[in-house]
Structure 1
Amino acid sequence: MTLDVPRIRTRVAELLSEYGIPSAAIGVLHDGTVVEFAVGVRNVETGEAATIDTVYQCGSMTKTWTALAFMQLVDEGKVDLDEPVRTYLPGFRVADPEASAKITPRHLLYHADGVEEAYGDPGEDDDVYERMVATIADASQVFPLGHTHGYSAALGYAILARILEVLDGKRWDDIMRDRLFDPMGLTSTSSWRGQVDETRAATGHLIRSLDDGPIVTPVDYLPRAFGPGGNITSTIPDVLTMAHVLLNEGVAPNGKRIVSAESMQEMMRSRVPVPDPYLFGPAWALGLIVCDWHGETVYATDGSTIGQNARLRVLPDSNTAIAMLTNGGPRESLYRTVFNEILVDLGTVTIPDLPAPDPTLHLDLSRYEGVYERPGTRFEVSTDSGTLCLTLVLDPMQAEFLQKPDRISYALQPVSETHFLMPPADPLEDPQTVAIYDFTDGAARYLHTNCRVHPRSG
């Protein structure tokens, strides 16, 4: 490995200061060689230094671990990815009868089930996933089953976890330990906050302004409902162990087979298109995002909690994986800059830029105008002096805490008939992309950004 660690460590320190992020732990696995380092502090109030053994919240990177455990059931012949969920959970039901009868584990793994996250408050007890499945009988469809891709933050993977629980006769947390953490030799990874070594845990941070700097998050952990989709905590060495499994056809560094080579291939090759292909990637596989970096296929798994973030990129063609865990952000420009500097040192493909607007496009803007929303999120698309604008309506409490207005407007710059570049409206933000698409009825039916889909409501 030809990685210039001192230079990259210095560069990371500069970027953390620029972005107001307290720390980052970074790991690189390249041709079997591992490099790991950490920069910054795990808590701005205590000033304790972050190390490679600091435990960070991984957020939705958890979904990849849950998918691996589920694929073990496939290897054991206990489940079929294309059998209805009802085969394993006979009482499974949502508002739409067709979805109730036809949703499969595959739909859930790559976020094509379309069920609204209407599971209420299932509590913090061991029966949380059983309760979630029991309370979604009236959950509506955000989109028809299989019609598009729409990320499920918690519910989809909670249903998968409940299948695991029923078939294994254990709670999900114990299943993850017995099926993955112990066999993989993960000594610092856990699935529930009660298992976290607080003396090594990073504290999450938010930032209201660059002048004020990072402040400790008011929300220490996500609710237990997010467990299978977002509550794993881990260290850089343990995340790279998972990356090794992904790079080596299901085999961990200790030589133990975690899933079969066939299941590993299925995880990567079974895909649905992502309506907005630019921010992360053009497709979603089983627990993994599929990226296209200048023609090379790269797999990604990311996560965010309220004040912590995780990024992992796996490059099979280069036998390389890069991971970064932070206790602030998220800032996509930080991840892109750091990873690209590492990738250049390694002589591999780099992350492509977001697309440039096409000034020659002349669109009928009226087809895009309207309100697109889900519970807790509302986007208003309108026209102002011939320019398409998107207004994000923030929850008043969130806006007050972040000291932001409750309505933030962005210009949408056309990239194609269905895709737009959205420049930032604030120095703390990065450029994003937005898809507004499906003109079946003349006007667009869906708005897709940051992997989430929002149907037109007006």
Structure 2
Amino acid sequence: MDSPYYTWLLAELAEKHHVPGAQLALYVDGTPSYAETGLERADNGPPVSRHSSFAFGSVTKAFTATVALQLVRDGDIDLDTPIAAYIPELGGGPDDIGGVVTLRTLLSHTSGLQAEFDPGGAAVGSVRRYVHACRDLRLLFPPGAAFSYSNAGFVLAGHLIELMAGAGWWDTVESLLLLPLGIEPAFTADPRVRPGGRPTATGHTLHPVRQRVVPIDSLAQVCDAPAGGLAGSAADLLKFGLAQIGAVPELTGVLDAAGMSMMRDQVPGAYPYGLAAGWGLGLSRFQGRGEMWFGHDGTADGSTCHLRFQPERRVVLAVTTNATTGLRLWDGVLRNLREAGLDIGSYSAPVIPAAGPPVDTSACVGDYCNGDMRYTVRCGADGGLQLVDDVTLSLRVGADLVFTATSPATDEPPSAGRFVRDPATGRIDLMEINGRAARRCAGNVEVQGV
């Protein structure tokens, strides 16, 4: 299949799912193919080109992890030394974050840190101030014991990079990774004054009633940059993927074989239910047909971004969009490639039969906390369970307490999760959804079960 086919496919999927603009880059059998469609901003934006920049969202984490492992390779950071050795402000005692969290647990989301942290005030404008505000955070579980996706953890990793490199995260990522890969730097939030920077496509959401896409203002904050502040094109992501599979000899020096292996190898305990099959140091693991694929997914202020690669098959796929409904477009790309014989690894929500035996879900009702984030599970008017976060989701729960969560107001794919019993008490004290763990709360106090 050549580039015209992918251009047609991308245009068809974008129109079907109300996506204003999208890019695709695919490398198979030594040949790259590119496709673009639509506008950078609905109605009046410039046409999407191969060079157009889209927010990478959490795919940024794969870049941050690569730079961190470059510093590990050079002997500047040790993966298993508590981070208080580098950031003494976080405390070095057994009850301090700095005394128990390591770079390995940060990059694999096994640190026990909460998913999000809003320090407020001046701290949002500085990675360093953000990190110092983390000292009093409580861990969800002992580091290394389990998986819970954490943006806060990657901000900490970004500050470690700053300290060891002697420069800001932005300058370090540019000099050690982006420029060697031939990627023109672009960021969604950048504290440096740089006139004429590379603009980023506007994100959009789909109005549930009018079925029209609506632009979304970017809410990107400087302090979150190491977790989600990069932007670029699908072609840029392809360059990163080519370096990861060793397809371009001059790019193999970006990270040595040992570092690339650590990014892909399964970390003990890093099993993100509802997100991927497993996790390495900075990369997700996705099960394909007979082999494991690697990459990352990201969403950010009305944009979506996806990267997959398979080193043995020497295949790389990248897709960027500027709409929340880009998740549906991504599913369509995967489905069409699968029908054409290219089965790209991905995560699919479990299928829970609508007519299965009744499940007693009364013990699931309650509040679950992940830092300041609170999920409320309640009984809906129809007798089924609902999950209330920023929006109300309908839950379909299976016999093993696995569930899917869907929003009747959006066209986004269902989220996957499960309720987990404490093996000692049999009590449901944990909920996992989209790779994030939340413990049952008692009033306003989070119950620490580990």
Q: TM-score range by the shorter chain?
A: 0.7 to 0.9
C-alpha displacement of 1:367:
2.9
Structure 1 residues 188 and 168, CA gap change in structure 2 (3 angstroms): closer
- The answer to whether 1:145 aligns with 2:140 is no
2:388 is equivalent to residue 389 of structure 1: no
Number of equivalences: 437
* Residue 256 to residue 423, structure 1, CA distance change in 2 (3 Å): closer
Q: Which has the higher mean CA deviation after the structures are superposed, 355-364 or 293-302? A: 355-364
Report Cα offsets for 1:156-179 as digits up to 9, x if no partner.
112112111111211111111111
Q: CA deviation at 1:239?
A: 0.9
Report whether the alignment pairs 1:302 with 2:285. Answer: no
Structure 2 partner of 1:30: 28
1:211 aligned residue? 210
* Contact map agreement 1:119 1:135 (CA 8 A) in 2: no
Equivalent of residue 340 in structure 1, options 335, 345, 349: 335
Distance in 2, matches of 1:198 and 1:212, equals 33
Shift of 1:311: 0.6
Match of residue 410 from structure 1: 394
Larger CA deviation: 222-231 vs 110-119: 110-119
Q: What displacement does 1:386 show?
A: 9.8
Q: Distance in 1 between matches of 2:344 and 2:319?
A: 18
SS of 1:216's equivalent? strand
Amino acid at match of 1:267: M
Alignment CA distance shift 1:37-1:209 (3 Å)? same
Name the CA shift for 1:27/1:104 in 2 (closer, same or farther; >3 Å): same
Q: Do structure 1's residue 178 and structure 2's residue 175 form an aligned pair? A: yes
- In the superposition, relative to structure 1, how do residues 448 and 71 fare at CA in structure 2: closer, same or farther (>3 Å)? same
**Does the alignment pair 1:439 with 2:422?**
yes
CA contact (8 A) 1:20 1:210 kept: no
Cα distance between partner residues in 1 of 2:108 and 2:341: 31
Q: Secondary structure at the match of 2:428?
A: coil
Q: Residue type matched to 1:442 in 2?
A: G
State the SS of the aligned residue for 1:97: coil
Alignment deviations for residues 30-59 of structure 1 (CA, whole Å, 9 cap, x no partner) = 133111111011111424210111011101
Contact 2:364–2:428 (CA under 8 A) maintained in structure 1: yes
RMSD, matched Cα: 2.8
Give structure 1 stretches of 5+ with no counterpart.
Answer: 395-406
The structure 2 residue matched to 1:379, chosen from 370, 375, 378, is 375
- Read off the aligned partner of 2:26 and give its amino acid letter: V
Q: Report the 3-state secondary structure (helix = DSSP H, G, I; strand = E; otherwise coil) of the residue aligned with 1:456.
A: strand
Looking at structure 2, the residues matched to 417 and 298 of structure 1 have their Cα atoms a distance apart, in angstroms, of 27
Task: After superposing the two structures, state which structure 1 stretch, 109-118 or 173-182, moved more.
Answer: 109-118
For residue 246 of structure 1, give the secondary structure of its aligned residue in structure 2. helix
2:308 match: secondary structure: strand
Matched, 1:322 2:326: no
Deviations 1:78-130 (A, max 9, x none): 2221111112222223997154311110110011112234451364898x122
| Matches of 2:43 and 2:56, distance apart in 1 | 22
Q: Sequence identity, in percent?
A: 22
How far, CA to CA, are the matches of 2:194 and 2:294 in structure 1? 29
User: Alignment partner of 1:412: what SS?
Assistant: strand
How many angstroms apart in 2 are the aligned matches of 1:342 and 1:224?
37
Q: Which of 102, 105, 116 is residue 103 of structure 2 equivalent to?
A: 105
Alignment partner, residue 156 of structure 2? 159
SS of corresponding position for 2:110: coil
1:282 aligns with 2:277: yes
Is contact 1:312-1:322 (8 Å) kept?
yes
Structure 1 residue 308: deviation in Å?
1.4
